[in-house]
Structure 1
Amino acid sequence: MRTAAKKPYSDAVWDEVELWSRDRIEAFQTDALPKQLDYVANNSAHYKKLFADLGVEAGDIRSLDDIRKLPLTKKQDYVSGLAEDPPFGTFRAVCMTDAARVHYSSGTTSKPAPVLWSHDDLDRWADLYARFLYAQGLRADDVFHCMFGYSWFVGGLGATLAAQYLGALVIPGGSVDTERQIDTILEYRPRCVIGTPSFMAHIAEAAYARGVDLRASSVDMVCVGGEPGASIPGTRERIEAQWGAKMFDCYGALECQPIGWDTALQLGPTLAEDFIYVEILDPDTDEPVPDGTPGVLVLTHLDKQACPLVRWWTGDVVVRDSSVGPDGRTHARLVGGVQGRADDMLIVRGVNLFPSAVEDVVRAHPGTTNEYALVVTDEMKDPETGFLKRVLLRVERADINDENLAESLGAALRNKLNVRFDMEVLDPGTLPRTVHKAKRLLRE
């Protein structure tokens, strides 16, 4: 029998920290934050200069609210640091002899950016991932089939490390060779699969085309990350129906692994508040917003060594709920997961529109495939306000004989989102499939 590297706290909880009171969580953060700020001020060239320029010392941060004395850290700051001190940048806070791993951004909008981990960072990462997988239901005697990419990407090795740490048997499938992935599920009977929502949908389509019913397979856990999806009701319902399994949102980012994952209750990603201090800020004023109000997620590491970040602006719009969950877990949750990116929000005739809201309607609508794309061009904008007057939705019909999809889906979108779309209905298989992060908003 395989044994986990760490004995779980109980049959339902991996670590006692998951049950700490809010007061204890805040006391822990209040103690950890100044120590972490002292560490970055002494070891990160970026923050050493920043603190000096501001005339601020780590000891000046005496409470959690005091962190607002420090500026936000944004992606461009990190990119500028890479240019200033290549190849690993000014945010690096360990000697290279203490660095153990580097992963890279996808590089879809700029040169791929590297992020470092130390040995202790990797151990912490594994334990946090194991905590979340355990909360979702994975156990040491299960088979775990990883379909995240392994090349450069942060997902594959992270998930593998966590499942091994928990004690599960890992199949490192990667995000290639669809037919072999299906064969592996049928032959080796994994209980849990993990990958991007796009790849999980693609696998389900390919299995259906082969006459394979995944609902009858051994899989009863579909874990997804790398893009929004698991917390979008339409997407969750569709993929759960295709697989006959529960789907869990696993939320992280290259710069911060992990942020928060669903538990078995699927109430939204539960934050790792012993690893990160969380702020939710108004995107226009940078002021904190209360629980229940959408804002941008801002993160500060509490114990990261190799590449620690302070007040990292994720750009992700979320809603926080800090109440105790029905299962007794006390760390705050992100209700509905990532609702969109602040820089992806469209304003169409005065209506705020996130691509994830469109996805919810498309995926829930009968007669569509899993694929869609939103298209905006300069010609669609009002020349005076700069706001969009219209937006184009490309969508595939599941049945090539369906002549009414544009009308029925257009009506559903108007009713739900109060936006009128230009519709372009395509035959199945027209839009590109992806094994990594799907790009749903196209600016042409």
Structure 2
Amino acid sequence: MTIARPHSERYWHEVETWPRERIEELQTTMLRKQLEYVQAHSAHYRRQWRELGFEPGDVRTPADLAALPVVTKADYVASLAADPPWGSMLTAAPKDVRRVHFSSGTTGAPTPVCWSDFDLDRWADLYARVGYSQGVRDTDVFQCLFGYAWFVGGLGATLGYQRLGATVIPGGSGDTRRQIDTMFAYGTTAVSGTPSFMLHLAETAAAAGTPLTRSKVRAIQVGGEPGAGVPATRRHIEEHWGARCFDGYGSLEFQPIAWECEAQAGGHLVEDFAYAEVVDPDTKKPVPDGSPGVLVLTHLDKQASPLVRWWTGDIVVRDTARCECGRTHARLPGGVIGRADDMLVVRGVNLFPSAVEQVVRRTPGTTGEYLIVLDREVTDPVTGYLTGIKLRVEAEPSVPPDFADRIASAVRAELTVRCLAEVVPEGSLPRSTHKTKRVVREA
């Protein structure tokens, strides 16, 4: 499809408001072409599909993709080992690869994902759509506070906001004091970064007597961890910045996946870039709209590293109703609810860290910082199953003596799990400029 410039004062591309039927027709056309391309150029998929007796022509509608197995991170790593360093999933000749980004995880060897010239142009245009939908224009000053070293988000945002026409300051996720000074000196009006870094910047600025509510920032795009999708966290960020906070969602493999518009009612899936399925984590069967499930994605026009039925591991809820902003692409209310692989099961209750965050951050007296600790006190010694959670919460000096009991009671009442709460002094829990680790296991 053709890469566009602003379609109107409100929408970057006309596809954002197409009727659902037209979007589905577009997805079907793009998917058929994409599957033929993947079969012709990917040794991995060609071999897998041959063994399954599958042909691209077997897909008459996107729903027919369900006949194929999901592809996991382990599958991707195996493809790299089989044909290093690029892997057997690569569909572009190495000479046509223009960009390589690597996973920012801390376990295992970094995994590469590649972009062609077309992929980079597409990426920039989609990120421009992100900023435009949140009111950023070519008169704005955008300061990117995502990391750049080995991290995909920073350069994606930089590409997009440059495409949009904004003045871009690629700040990165370090030099906190300098970031704050730069915002005031150059009149930064829009920023992006992780929720943790946004709160860290606000905390540092307030302590220095220069609260960010005095800055010109009016739009904050966050991603990389639960943030604007958690109402209490969104409110916390907006109060400390005096600006609107929008949830963004992407991954190394799919950039971007979804983002919030001006309505702040859940991120819009980029349905002209990726076909999205929401499936039961155990059966892999589709779940109805409004029910939680794992997001599975298929590229519709990626050239260098396309993926078919990629298992994101992210738990989401999809809503295909038209948004009040007029956009028709499906939304993910609440953003990413949690990870299928970091979900805690406490006496049969499925518990995600983001649910605990919601309770903590809307409780007056906390700084919003917390840590979920899993140790012997909350683990059955025979089965090893969790019997509850232990929660370390930072609190302001003025909280009452029974504050820990209040927090524990709030968690028990709302999340129906046993909770042992411990109050720690303000500033004692570690801060992160990247992705904050919220769950730790202690002996």
TM-score class normalised by the smaller sequence: over 0.9
Change (3 A) 1:64 1:434: same
Any gaps of 5 or more consecutive residues in structure 2? none
User: What is the aligned partner in structure 2 of residue 323 from structure 1?
Assistant: 321
User: What is the aligned partner in structure 2 of residue 433 from structure 1?
Assistant: 431
Structure 1 residue 420 displacement after superposition: 2.0
SS at 1:18's partner residue?
Answer: helix
Matching residue's letter, 2:81: A
Percent of aligned pairs with the same amino acid: 58
User: What is the aligned partner in structure 1 of residue 119 from structure 2?
Assistant: 121
1:64 to 62, 65, 88: 62
Matching residue's letter, 2:319: D
Structure 1 residue 401 displacement after superposition: 6.2
User: What is the aligned partner in structure 2 of residue 146 from structure 1?
Assistant: 144
What TM-score, normalized to structure 1?
0.96
- Say if 2:365 and 2:398, in contact at 8 Å, map to a contact too: no
1:241 to 239, 242, 248: 239
1:264 to 262, 265, 269: 262
Matching residue's letter, 1:103: H
User: What is the aligned partner in structure 1 of residue 370 from structure 2?
Assistant: 372
What TM-score, normalized to structure 2?
0.97
Matching residue's letter, 1:341: R
CA distance, structure 2, for counterparts of residue 355 and residue 324 of structure 1: 29
**CA deviation vs aligned residue, 1:172-194 (integer Å, no higher than 9, x gap):** 11111000011011111111011
SS at 2:370's partner residue?
Answer: strand
Structure 1 residue 438 displacement after superposition: 0.9
4+ residue runs over 2 A deviation: 377-387, 400-405
Structure 1 residue 257 displacement after superposition: 0.4
> Root-mean-square deviation (CA), in Å?
1.4
User: What is the aligned partner in structure 1 of residue 180 from structure 2?
Assistant: 182
User: What is the aligned partner in structure 1 of residue 31 from structure 2?
Assistant: 33
SS at 1:257's partner residue?
Answer: coil
Structure 1 residue 366 displacement after superposition: 1.1
1:302 to 283, 300, 303: 300
CA distance, structure 2, for counterparts of residue 399 and residue 120 of structure 1: 54
User: What is the aligned partner in structure 1 of residue 201 from structure 2?
Assistant: 203
Alignment of 1:155-234 (within 5 A): 155-234=153-232
Q: Are 1:46 and 2:41 counterparts?
A: no
CA distance, structure 1, for counterparts of residue 87 and residue 427 of structure 2: 42
Structure 1 residue 385 displacement after superposition: 5.5
- Say if 1:400 and 1:427, in contact at 8 Å, map to a contact too: no
CA distance, structure 2, for counterparts of residue 337 and residue 383 of structure 1: 35
Change (3 A) 1:204 1:289: same
User: What is the aligned partner in structure 2 of residue 399 from structure 1?
Assistant: 397
CA distance, structure 2, for counterparts of residue 431 and residue 363 of structure 1: 15
Matching residue's letter, 2:420: D
Structure 1 residue 398 displacement after superposition: 2.2
SS at 1:59's partner residue?
Answer: helix
Matching residue's letter, 2:410: A
- Say if 1:107 and 1:113, in contact at 8 Å, map to a contact too: no
User: What is the aligned partner in structure 1 of residue 17 from structure 2?
Assistant: 19
Structure 1 residue 109 displacement after superposition: 2.5
User: What is the aligned partner in structure 2 of residue 136 from structure 1?
Assistant: 134
Matching residue's letter, 1:128: L
Structure 1 residue 311 displacement after superposition: 0.4
**CA deviation vs aligned residue, 1:210-263 (integer Å, no higher than 9, x gap):** 011211210111110111111101100101100011100110000100101000
Matching residue's letter, 1:163: Y
Structure 1 residue 151 displacement after superposition: 0.8
2:80 to 60, 82, 101: 82
- Say if 2:378 and 2:390, in contact at 8 Å, map to a contact too: no
User: What is the aligned partner in structure 1 of residue 360 from structure 2?
Assistant: 362
Change (3 A) 1:330 1:171: same
CA distance, structure 2, for counterparts of residue 308 and residue 6 of structure 1: 22
**CA deviation vs aligned residue, 1:297-338 (integer Å, no higher than 9, x gap):** 000000001100000010110000001111210000001100
Q: Are 1:7 and 2:23 counterparts?
A: no
Structure 1 residue 107 displacement after superposition: 2.5
**Which segment is superposed worse, 5-14 or 178-187?**
5-14
Change (3 A) 1:401 1:259: closer
Structure 1 residue 383 displacement after superposition: 5.5
Any gaps of 5 or more consecutive residues in structure 1? none
CA distance, structure 1, for counterparts of residue 285 and residue 376 of structure 2: 32
**CA deviation vs aligned residue, 1:113-137 (integer Å, no higher than 9, x gap):** 1111111000000101111210011
Structure 1 residue 195 displacement after superposition: 0.4
Structure 1 residue 33 displacement after superposition: 0.9
- Say if 1:350 and 1:387, in contact at 8 Å, map to a contact too: no
Change (3 A) 1:399 1:49: same
- Say if 1:396 and 1:430, in contact at 8 Å, map to a contact too: yes
CA distance, structure 1, for counterparts of residue 150 and residue 338 of structure 2: 25
Matching residue's letter, 1:309: L
SS at 1:320's partner residue?
Answer: coil
